[in-house]
């Protein structure tokens, strides 16, 4: 489906429409392809154009023009949504790969801490009994875990799940659409 004003095609349209760049804009149908070589045309319906490059809508009703604008807006919104979906899919794939790398780094960090803890325990076992050395290392990790838990809980209490700025801007949209 092609707009008579811009030559844009809908997201699902698979047909190839030739475009011509002129001083007045891009046109999907050339005058030569319509058989009217002396006049200017635009869009798939061959809407006549004025010499200034504007659509000649003298014989078109207001209802038809509003219908065309509505259809063009609908097509534009569909195309924008399709573009956003495609972009989000690519970005989600990148984010997933990054999250996987962070997961691998986290596991490697865990293994480092495990072996450092074992080394500390065995190092302390040279000074005291191995059981007491293991208990001291476990107590150090218990303190680190408790402090991390308290800090994480306080951060979660500060989280506001409601997107305040988005709600504010969405509440302003109806007012912006009303005529002043």
Q: Residue range 51-61: average pLDDT?
A: 75
Cα 19 from Cα 32, distance rounded (Å): 12
Domain segments of the chain as ranges: 1-59, 66-172
Q: What is the reported pLDDT for 109?
A: 93
Q: What is the DSSP letter of 51?
A: T
> Residue 149 above 90 pLDDT?
yes
Give residue-wise pLDDT tens across range 5-18: 444 444 444 444 44
Q: What is the reported pLDDT for 146?
A: 94
Give residue-wise pLDDT tens across range 7-53: 444 444 444 444 444 444 444 444 454 444 444 445 545 566 777 77
Q: What is the reported pLDDT for 3?
A: 45
Q: What is the reported pLDDT for 61?
A: 81
Give residue-wise pLDDT tens across range 75-133: 888 888 888 888 888 889 999 999 999 999 999 999 999 999 999 999 999 999 999 99
Instruction: Please check whether residue 130 is in contact with residue 121, taking contact to mean a CB–CB distance below 8 angstroms.
Output: yes
Q: Residue range 56-63: average pLDDT?
A: 77
Residue 54, CA atoms < 13 Å, CB-side half-sphere: 4
> Residue 175 above 80 pLDDT?
no
Q: What is the reported pLDDT for 47?
A: 61
174 compared with 47, residue with greater pLDDT: 174
- H-helix or E-strand containing 90? helix 62-125
Give the angle 75-80-84 at the CA atoms, nearest 5°: 150
């Amino acid at each position: 489906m092609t707009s008579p004003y811009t030559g844009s095609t809908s997201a699902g349209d698979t047909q190839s429409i030739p475009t011509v760049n002129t001083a007045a804009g891009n046109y999907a149908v050339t005058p030569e392809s319509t058989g009217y070589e002396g006049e200017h045309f635009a869009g798939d319906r061959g809407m006549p154009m004025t010499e200034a490059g504007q659509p000649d809508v003298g014989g078109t009703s207001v209802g038809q023009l509003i219908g065309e604008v509505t259809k063009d807006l609908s097509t534009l919104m569909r195309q924008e949504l399709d573009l956003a979906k495609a972009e989000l899919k690519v970005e989600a794939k990148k984010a997933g790969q990054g999250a996987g790398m962070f997961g691998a780094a986290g596991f490697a960090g865990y293994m480092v801490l495990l072996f450092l803890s074992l080394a500390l325990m065995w190092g302390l076992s040279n000074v005291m009994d191995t059981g007491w050395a293991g208990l001291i290392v476990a107590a150090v990790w218990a303190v680190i875990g408790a402090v991390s838990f308290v800090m994480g809980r306080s951060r979660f209490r500060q989280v506001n799940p409601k997107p305040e700025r988005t709600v504010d801007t969405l509440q302003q949209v109806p007012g912006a659409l009303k005529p002043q």
